[in-house]
Amino acid sequence: MATYVIVGAGLAGAKAAQTLREEGFDGDIVLIGAETERPYERPPLSKDYLQGKSEREKIFVHAPEWYADNGVDLRLGLRATRIELDHHVVRLGDGSRQPYDKLLIATGAVPRRLPGPAYYLRTVEDSEALKAHFAAGASVLVVGASWIGLETAAAAREAGCAVTVVEPEPTALNRALGPELGDLFARLHAGKGVDLRFGTAAAEITDSGVRLSSGERLSADLVVVGIGAAPEVWLARDAGLEVVQGIRTDAALRTSHPDVYAAGDVAEFFHPRYGRHLRVEHWANALHGGPAAARSMLGQEVVYDRLPYFYTDQYELGMEFSGDIEGYDEIVYRGDPGRLEFVVYWLRGGRVIAGMNVNVWDVVDDIQELIRSGVIVDQKELSKE
């Protein structure tokens, strides 16, 4: 009987295990996670759960009994320390050896860190610690106007905390959305009383706050760092798998070894539409990438070509984004950005390459279909409400 091992008990790993069973795999499934919590979803940690609007049990991927009921050997609080490709074995932190016939690496990513005393938001424990501080009315300094940084700032502000955001880029989300839409998010937070400091970096984090690259010192009860995440690739790199920005895979999520696959934040997969490798850190990639990798492990024909997708909720703004803005040369709006109810399209050479709907719902499929079509659009028609 075959044994399939999944290293990484997050959303991608849990959904891969579920898919293996749903697709009829009757061998052994071993799901190994370094955290002590069973697999859970991370978006609520910086959204509803952080704001106290969601119960803890709702963040988990499956009920506690699901794993035993479905024959999934869930091993928590256990870190994989080495992959021996020649022997098809994963060495574990307790000294044991776990053989496999096929292996999925779904180890995710870890926050990029700065020296000094700071909080980060990646785990459920991180979210609970921040929630307690926010409830106590702490003054909060957020380093990084990233998605995590801004969602954290919004949660802190809605809890009544004084909030400052420090960002070396000229505006919020500059690399993710470009300056035009980044400015919209900056105005949103400024309107809620957030003190935004753009064009300056955190040179030093201290017990009392932050010293900026300009020399100015800002005091705060706690500092939260949200400057992105790095894929947890060391296990794959040490094993000799191909690693660039992430663990390199083909469009079927196979790594450079035929019996090893990668999915989720850690995977840098070849995307046929873009003709290049992408690494996507957002929830939807874990949700869909895990099942795609599972089907590929089963020998099914898989081409993982979903468009990048993510969403955010900040104050009264909810939005969904699809595509990739790289190389855009024009922006077209449908609706009024000033009312925070609109759709925006990024174009390159007259074709839509990305779209974002803000407080407009049930349009994601249409936006993605337009991106996939590759047609040259009539901008006047595109902007009509």
Structural contact between residues 157 and 193, judged by C-beta atoms closer than 8 angstroms? yes
Give the side-chain half-sphere CA count within 13 A for 40: 23
Q: What is the mean pLDDT of residues 358-370?
A: 97
Tokens of 90: 């994963």
Mean pLDDT, residues 119-127 taken together: 96
For residues 32-57, average pLDDT? 94
Residue-wise pLDDT for 304-334, tens only, equals 999 999 999 999 999 999 999 999 999 999 9
Q: Give the count of beta carbons closer than 10 Å to the beta carbon of residue 55.
A: 10
CA-based nearest residue to 42, from 109, 119, 105, 140 = 109
Separation between Cα atoms, residue 307 and residue 309, nearest integer Å = 6
Phi, psi of 271, rounded to the nearest 5 degrees: -105, 115
User: For residue range 99-120, what is the model confidence (pLDDT) as tens digits?
Assistant: 999 999 999 999 999 999 999 9
Residue 118: which residues within 8 A CB-CB, separation 6 or more? 143, 205, 222, 223, 224, 225
Contacts of 132 (CB under 8 A, 6+ apart): none
pLDDT for residue 338:
87
Q: Contact, 266 vs 232, CB < 8 A?
A: yes
CA distance 11 to 42: 8
Could you tell me which of 226, 221, 217, 259 has the C-alpha nearest to residue 241? 259
- Compute the distance between CA of residue 329 and CA of residue 350 in angstroms, rounded to an integer: 9
Can you tell me whether residue 275 is helix, strand or coil?
coil
For residue 1, pLDDT beyond 90: no
pLDDT tens, residue by residue, 79-100 = 999 999 999 999 999 999 999 9
Q: So what's the pLDDT on residue 110? A: 95
* Beta-sheet pairing, 351-358 with 222-225: unpaired
Answer yes or no: are the C-beta atoms of 125 and 212 closer than 8 Å.
no
Greatest Cα-to-Cα distance within the chain, rounded to the nearest angstrom: 64
Percent pLDDT > 90 in the chain is 95
Q: How far apart are CA 290 and CA 234, in angstroms?
A: 20
> Given pLDDT bands bounded at 50, 70 and 90, which one contains residue 355?
very high
Strand-pair category, 3-7 with 102-105? parallel
CB 293 within 8 Å of CB 253: yes
What does the pLDDT average to over 239-254?
Answer: 98
**According to the model, what pLDDT value does residue 31 have?**
98
Q: How high is the pLDDT of residue 197? A: 96
Give the C-alpha separation, 33 to 30, whole Å: 10
Model confidence at 385, pLDDT cuts 50, 70, 90, reads confident
- For 215-246, the pLDDT digits (tens) are 999 999 999 999 999 999 999 999 999 999 99
Condensed to tens digits (0 to 9), the pLDDT of residues 65-78 reads 999 999 999 999 99
Nearest to 126 by CA among 217, 26, 45: 45
Q: 170-182 pLDDT, tens per residue?
A: 999 999 999 999 9
Q: How far apart are CA 243 and CA 115, in angstroms?
A: 26
The pLDDT assigned to 27 comes to 98
Taking the C-alpha atoms of residue 181 and residue 113, their distance in angstroms, rounded to an integer, is 27
Q: Is the pLDDT reported for residue 357 higher than 90?
A: yes
Through-space distance between the first and last CA atoms of the chain, rounded to whole angstroms: 58
Q: What is the mean pLDDT of the chain?
A: 96
Q: What is the mean pLDDT of residues 48-63?
A: 94
Confidence of residue 6 (pLDDT cuts 50, 70, 90): very high
Q: In the prediction, which pLDDT does 250 show?
A: 98
Cα-based angle 335, 337, 343 (whole degrees, multiple of 5): 50
Q: How far is CA 338 from CA 170, 187, 263, 380, in A?
A: 21, 10, 38, 19
pLDDT recorded at residue 265? 97
At residue 130, the 3 state secondary structure works out as helix
E-state strands within 208-363 = 209-212, 217-219, 222-225, 229-231, 247-249, 260-262, 267-271, 276-278, 309-314, 317-323, 330-336, 341-348, 351-358
CA-CA distance, 134 to 49, in Å (whole number)?
Answer: 12
